[in-house]
Structure 1
């Protein structure tokens, strides 16, 4: 079984507190949304599973992100929807921070 390698995404300080940063990783490049909630940084797919709206402008609070279009919230750790209208999760990606660099396995 081949393990997906971690790829450098950005400096940890580039992910704003309570905010997001869209990065592209891999070949071909895959968009990944980095989100910081408190001390934790998470990596998720950048589109709402309900209406495929961009989550980059969504509100990040207490371990969740809200879709700016319809208000569906997603748990940043699991990707699970927390309220309607979303019923399907968003993908999450393994993330680690090494020497101040955020690395994501995509």
Structure 2
């Protein structure tokens, strides 16, 4: 698990972008609807940072073309996005938010 920040450092309705290494896509961590959620930071429609998007309820709106994603499932709820973004497990341990990145699915030959 990767420590992100203390819970008091991420107010509700806000997000933070974390970068793990060059091989792992950046992750956006959100405090929304009283919970913490993590998704891949890049919109599945076009290269835009979801951590810079507008958060309302459990949804984030992409800042580039207004695609809306459900933070709980990663599913897009409107066009232009058609593909979901990957979600990641979030745990709070001793007041610190941690993310467990989802395992990347490898292409099957």
> Is contact 1:7-1:26 (8 Å) kept?
no
TM-score normalised to structure 1 length: 0.86
Partner SS state of residue 60, structure 2: strand
TM-score normalised to structure 2 length: 0.84
Q: Kindly report which structure 2 residues correspond to 1:50-89, keeping only aligned pairs within 5 A, or say none.
A: 50-89=45-84
C-alpha displacement at 1:53, in angstroms? 1.0
C-alpha displacement at 1:70, in angstroms? 0.7
For the residues of structure 1 that align with 2:6 and 2:20, how far apart are their CA atoms?
A: 14
Name the counterpart of 1:90: 85
Aligned residues, how many?
A: 101
Q: CA RMSD in A?
A: 1.6
User: Which ranges of structure 1 fall in alignment gaps of 5 or more residues?
Assistant: 1-5
Greater relative contact order (CA < 8 Å, ≥ 6 in sequence): 1
